[in-house]
Amino acid sequence: MKFPAGLPIGESWVSAPTTAPVVFPYDGSTVAEAPVGDVALARAALDHALSVRETVGRLPSYVRRNVLQRVHAELLAARDEFVELLVLETGKPLVDCRVEIDRTLLTVETAAEEVARLHGETVPLDLLPSGAGLQGFWVRKPIGVVVGITGFNYPLLLAAHKIAPAFAAGCPIIVKPAPQTPLATLWMAHLMRAALADAGAPESALQVITGGPDVGATLTTDSRIGAVSFTGSAAVGHRIARDAAPTKVLLELGSNSALVVAGDADLDAAADAIVRGGYYASGQACISVQRVIAVASVRDALLEKLGARLPTVVVGDPRDPATRVSALINPASTDRVRQWVADAVHAGASIAYEAPGDVLGPIVLTDVPDGLPAWDEEIFGPVIAVRSVPDIDSALHAVNATRYGLHASVFTASLDTAFTAIDRLEVGGVVINDVPGFRSDVMPYGGVKDSGAGREGPRFAIEELTTTRMAIIRPRP
């Protein structure tokens, strides 16, 4: 880690009133002492961001693009060090942290490219007689100060999802990282603020504030901000949306993503995808496979193939390149997941597979009844639940029978089934013959229902963080 002590507030790094340890989830050792902010610093960050709003909004396109390009270059140069830090502060397996930095690089690079595509267009005003002789066009303007709140599971990537599009759009941004994982975000902020300073732009275009719910509430309820972009649980997201109204709120919330296996599916490919998609990041991903809905004719064969694959999933130290599942973010999360599994079994579900060992490893449940968290809610751990249904129509109905709607996938050899699923599934993304967790950071990513509102991905987030301004001109004769 190579950043100053304290928090990047205003044009410098300021001392925080206290610190808290960032803990390596695998063994409980302390990675570093992280600064913890308070309401006073949150208010100061808001004042600084508002003071540079017009300056940042008027930065030339080449400045915004060059700053983001430099951040990309600095992140790339420190790629391996960022990966090491991510493993330590998140406890995610090394392989997943490598994916996170690569996706972060793509996000920043794409946001830099999108600066050149931020434009409006002309409008034919003479479609009515009253518009004859008028000239019209619209342009995009920054929405104002953005508050970005991120989750613990992909701290660097989620910060990039907030920071890069906001700055590309011309908006100052204040980021509040998750208390468990602030370090990579602080380091990225240091890199970007150095680039801002060298470009002659205000460093307070990007500020980072840590702290508890009172800090978050101070940021999100200030009526002077333009937008809140939040990634986290549905319960917290709903509260932010209510408390922030009428400020625009973008929500990337949870899910219990489903993977459907049709009767004509390639079962080996489906089994591989379930293992890959259910247990990456130790199951701590909003679009990891949680519900597997198999047509009854292939259920037993699918479970057999899963049973053959799961013992090969390496559980243990996340620093080992072979590890695929490691400790969850904290003991409380592990206890919750174990309790949800126990509740499901008590209600009649069966455990088809459970990895041995002290670290919570892959678990497969079968026949979890409706109304239980292991099926209805987001388990956020290495657990999948398999259910059989009579036909594909029933499978699609089961996918939709939830309050969530982020991503879903369908394994099938039929184009008719594929297009039916794309048409009928109530989700933000449908993936055919791959994991629901497949996403590119250039796509319009987001959900429906309780999975959120708005879209991420640089191009689409930039549009979310700008407003259109119409111009109508009547030339003088």
Residues known to be catalytic: 252, 286
Q: What's the CA angle centered on 184, arms 323 and 204, to 5 degrees? A: 165
The DSSP result for 30-61, as a single string, is: EEEEEEE--HHHHHHHHHHHHHTHHHHHTS-H
Q: Tokens representing 345? A: 């079994």
At residue 87, the 3 state secondary structure works out as helix
- CA 328 to CA 181: how far, in whole Å? 13
3-state helix, strand, coil in the chain (%, to 5): 45, 20, 35
Strands (E) located in 187-290: 206-208, 227-231, 248-252, 258-261
The DSSP result for 311-342, as a single string, is: GGS-BS-TTSTT--B---SSHHHHHHHHHHHH
Helices (H), 36-138: 39-51, 53-57, 61-77, 79-90, 94-114
- Local structure of residue 445 (DSSP, 8 states): B
Specify whether the CB–CB gap between 256 and 379 falls below 8 A: yes
Specify whether the CB–CB gap between 449 and 126 falls below 8 A: no
- CA 186 to CA 232: how far, in whole Å? 19
What are phi and psi for residue 421, nearest 5 degrees?
-65, -45
Closest among 65, 76, 246 to 169, alpha carbons compared: 65
